[in-house]
Structure 1
Amino acid sequence: MSKSPKATESKAFYLNPDRSVAVINYSEEYIQDIFQLVNSQGFYNLVDVYLQESQLAVTNKVEALDTKAYIDILKAILIDNKAGYEKYGNEQILKSIEELYSYYRSYFRVSLINKHNSAIVKGNFMNFDNHFNEIVIQMYRSIEEKLQGFTNKAYRQVNAGTNACVLTQSIQWNTPQKYQSLESIRFLDTLMLRPPMMMHTKSNKREGVFSEVFDNPIDKFDGNQKDWYCFPAKIGESLAFIYFHRDYFVSGIALANLFEVADKDSIAGQKPDEILLFGLNKTKGDVSHYYHDTDNNIWVGEVPYNDKTTYFGYMKKMCLTLHNLHMIYENRLPIHGSMVKISFSNGKTKSVVFFGDSGAGKSESIEALQEIADDKIINIETIFDDMGSFAFDDQGNVYAQGTETGAFVRLDDLSSSVAFNNMDRGIYLNPELKNARVILPANTYKHVVEHHSIDMWVYANNYDAEIGLHQFPNEEKAKATFIAGKRKALGTTDEVGMSTTFFANPFGPVQEEEKTRPIIDKVFNKLYQDNIYVGEIYTHLGYDKSKASLHESAKELLTELMNN
Structure 2
Amino acid sequence: MEEILEIRDGCKTPLQLLKSKAFSRYLSIYKKQFIKELKSRENSEQKEEVVHKIEFIEDIDRLAFIEIFESNESLSSSELAKHKEVIRFLEGLFHHYRKKSYTRLIKLHDNILNSKESAESIKDRISDKANKLTDLILETRRILLTKVGFSVGVRRSQGLECQPNVTCGEISGKNIDLPSVYKKLSEVPLTTHADMRTGIHYTTHANKRAFPFFALDHNPFKGSSFNPEEYVAIPFEVGQWNIIAYIHKSRGCIELEPGLLNLFPFSKVRKLVKNKPDGVFIFGCPHSTMDDLGYHYDKKNKLLVGLIPNIDDCKYFGYGKKPILTLHNVLCILNNQMPLHCGCTRYVVRFDSKTGEPYIFDSFVKADDMGRATFLNNGFSNNNANIPYFYGTETGAFACLDGFSEYTKMQMEGREIGYNKHAGTNARQIVPVTDYSEVSTGSELDILLYLNNYDLIKPGESCMNIDMSVDEALEHFRKGARVAAGSTQTHRGKIEISYWANPFPLLKDKDWKDLPEHSDLSERFKTIEKNFFDIIKKRVKSGLMKIGVAHSMLMAGCYSKNTDSKLSKYGFNDREQVEHEGPERAARDMINLIKQTAVQKKELTKTDLKEIDITVAMVGDSRTGKSEMAEKMEEVLSMKGAKSSSGKTIN
Q: Which amino acid in the other structure matches residue 93 of structure 2?
A: L
Query: 1:124, CA displacement in angstroms?
Result: 4.2
Q: Which amino acid in the other structure matches residue 24 of structure 1?
A: E
CA contact (8 A) 1:470 1:535 kept: yes
Report which of the two has the higher share of strand: 1
Higher mean C-alpha displacement, 209-218 vs 459-468:
459-468
Q: 2:180 aligns with which of 153, 167, 177?
A: 177
Q: 1:155 aligns with which of 157, 165, 180?
A: 157
Give the direction of change, closer, same or farther, for the CA distance of 1:538–1:85 in structure 2 (3 Å limit): farther
The aligned counterpart of 1:34 is 14
2:279 pairs with 1:274: yes
Q: Which amino acid in the other structure matches residue 519 of structure 1?
A: I
The aligned counterpart of 2:166 is 164
Instruction: Find the structure with the greater CA-based Rg.
Output: 2
Higher mean C-alpha displacement, 480-489 vs 167-176:
167-176
Higher mean C-alpha displacement, 64-73 vs 262-271:
64-73
CA contact (8 A) 1:241 1:272 kept: yes
Q: Which amino acid in the other structure matches residue 110 of structure 1?
A: R
CA contact (8 A) 1:188 1:231 kept: yes
The aligned counterpart of 1:110 is 104
Deviation readout 1:345-376 (Å, 9 max, x if unpaired): 6469xxxxxxxxxxxxxxxxxxxxxxxxxx95
Q: 1:407 aligns with which of 376, 397, 409?
A: 397
Q: Which amino acid in the other structure matches residue 587 of structure 2?
A: A
Q: Which secondary structure state, in structure 1, belongs to the residue aligned with residue 221 of structure 2? A: helix
Give the direction of change, closer, same or farther, for the CA distance of 1:74–1:340 in structure 2 (3 Å limit): same
CA contact (8 A) 1:133 1:160 kept: yes
Q: Which amino acid in the other structure matches residue 538 of structure 1?
A: H
The aligned counterpart of 2:307 is 302
Q: Which amino acid in the other structure matches residue 109 of structure 1?
A: T
Q: Which amino acid in the other structure matches residue 104 of structure 2?
A: V
The aligned counterpart of 1:138 is 139
Give the direction of change, closer, same or farther, for the CA distance of 1:141–1:377 in structure 2 (3 Å limit): farther
5 Å-filtered alignment, 1:71-82, equals 71=61, 74=65, 77-78=68-69, 79=71, 81=75
2:416 pairs with 1:426: yes
CA contact (8 A) 1:220 1:282 kept: no
CA–CA distance in 2 between the matches of 1:417 and 1:177?
52
Q: Which amino acid in the other structure matches residue 161 of structure 2?
A: N
The aligned counterpart of 1:446 is 437
Q: Give aligned-pair identity as a percent.
A: 21
Q: 2:92 aligns with which of 99, 105, 112?
A: 99
Structure 2 gap segments, 5+ residues each: 378-384, 508-517, 558-575, 598-651
The aligned counterpart of 2:473 is 478
Higher mean C-alpha displacement, 384-393 vs 501-510:
501-510
CA–CA distance in 2 between the matches of 1:250 and 1:240?
19
Q: 1:538 aligns with which of 551, 558, 567?
A: 551
Q: Which amino acid in the other structure matches residue 515 of structure 1?
A: R
Q: Which secondary structure state, in structure 2, belongs to the residue aligned with residue 514 of structure 1? A: helix
Give the direction of change, closer, same or farther, for the CA distance of 1:130–1:340 in structure 2 (3 Å limit): same
Query: 1:449, CA displacement in angstroms?
Result: 2.1
The aligned counterpart of 2:529 is 520
Using the size of structure 2 for normalisation, the TM-score is 0.73
Deviation readout 1:493-552 (Å, 9 max, x if unpaired): 122233211111251352432321222222223223212222222222222151122222
Q: 2:371 aligns with which of 388, 391, 415?
A: 388
CA contact (8 A) 1:63 1:96 kept: no
Q: Which secondary structure state, in structure 1, belongs to the residue aligned with residue 283 of structure 2? A: strand
CA contact (8 A) 1:37 1:43 kept: no
Q: Which amino acid in the other structure matches residue 466 of structure 2?
A: Q
CA–CA distance in 1 between the matches of 2:142 and 2:402?
37
CA contact (8 A) 1:509 1:516 kept: no
Deviation readout 1:84-118 (Å, 9 max, x if unpaired): 5555696x777654433222221232211222426
Q: Which secondary structure state, in structure 1, belongs to the residue aligned with residue 211 of structure 2? A: coil
Give the direction of change, closer, same or farther, for the CA distance of 1:196–1:437 in structure 2 (3 Å limit): same
Query: 1:273, CA displacement in angstroms?
Result: 1.2
CA–CA distance in 2 between the matches of 1:82 and 1:430?
48
The aligned counterpart of 1:529 is 538
2:596 pairs with 1:563: yes
Give the direction of change, closer, same or farther, for the CA distance of 1:136–1:154 in structure 2 (3 Å limit): closer
Q: Which secondary structure state, in structure 1, belongs to the residue aligned with residue 441 of structure 2? A: coil
Q: Which secondary structure state, in structure 2, belongs to the residue aligned with residue 217 of structure 1? A: coil
CA–CA distance in 2 between the matches of 1:99 and 1:61?
19
CA–CA distance in 2 between the matches of 1:283 and 1:144?
47
Give the direction of change, closer, same or farther, for the CA distance of 1:226–1:336 in structure 2 (3 Å limit): same
The aligned counterpart of 1:554 is 587
CA contact (8 A) 1:61 1:88 kept: no
Q: Which amino acid in the other structure matches residue 555 of structure 2?
A: G
CA contact (8 A) 1:54 1:63 kept: no
CA contact (8 A) 1:137 1:161 kept: no
Higher mean C-alpha displacement, 398-407 vs 131-140:
131-140
2:264 pairs with 1:259: yes
Deviation readout 1:378-407 (Å, 9 max, x if unpaired): 322101111001112234221111112222
Q: Aligned-residue CA RMSD in angstroms?
A: 3.0
Give the direction of change, closer, same or farther, for the CA distance of 1:453–1:128 in structure 2 (3 Å limit): closer
Higher mean C-alpha displacement, 436-445 vs 54-63:
54-63
Q: Which amino acid in the other structure matches residue 138 of structure 1?
A: E
Deviation readout 1:30-56 (Å, 9 max, x if unpaired): 344434444542143034124214569
The aligned counterpart of 2:601 is none
Deviation readout 1:237-285 (Å, 9 max, x if unpaired): 1111222212233212322222221232111121111111222233342
Deviation readout 1:465-509 (Å, 9 max, x if unpaired): 335222251122211111111112212212223321111125135
CA–CA distance in 2 between the matches of 1:229 and 1:43?
19
Q: Which secondary structure state, in structure 1, belongs to the residue aligned with residue 187 of structure 2? A: coil
CA contact (8 A) 2:68 2:83 kept: no
Higher mean C-alpha displacement, 38-47 vs 201-210:
38-47
Number of residue pairs the alignment of both structures matches: 517
CA–CA distance in 1 between the matches of 2:292 and 2:222?
17
Q: Which secondary structure state, in structure 2, belongs to the residue aligned with residue 301 of structure 1? A: strand
Structure 1 gap segments, 5+ residues each: 1-5, 8-15, 17-21, 349-374
CA contact (8 A) 2:368 2:394 kept: yes
CA–CA distance in 1 between the matches of 2:496 and 2:292?
21
The aligned counterpart of 2:568 is none
CA–CA distance in 2 between the matches of 1:61 and 1:380?
63
CA–CA distance in 2 between the matches of 1:243 and 1:396?
38
CA contact (8 A) 2:189 2:233 kept: yes
CA–CA distance in 1 between the matches of 2:143 and 2:160?
16
Q: Which secondary structure state, in structure 2, belongs to the residue aligned with residue 183 of structure 1? A: helix
2:298 pairs with 1:293: yes
CA–CA distance in 2 between the matches of 1:417 and 1:73?
49
Q: Which amino acid in the other structure matches residue 154 of structure 2?
A: N
Query: 1:302, CA displacement in angstroms?
Result: 1.1
Q: Which amino acid in the other structure matches residue 330 of structure 1?
A: N
Give the direction of change, closer, same or farther, for the CA distance of 1:285–1:141 in structure 2 (3 Å limit): same
Query: 1:442, CA displacement in angstroms?
Result: 2.6
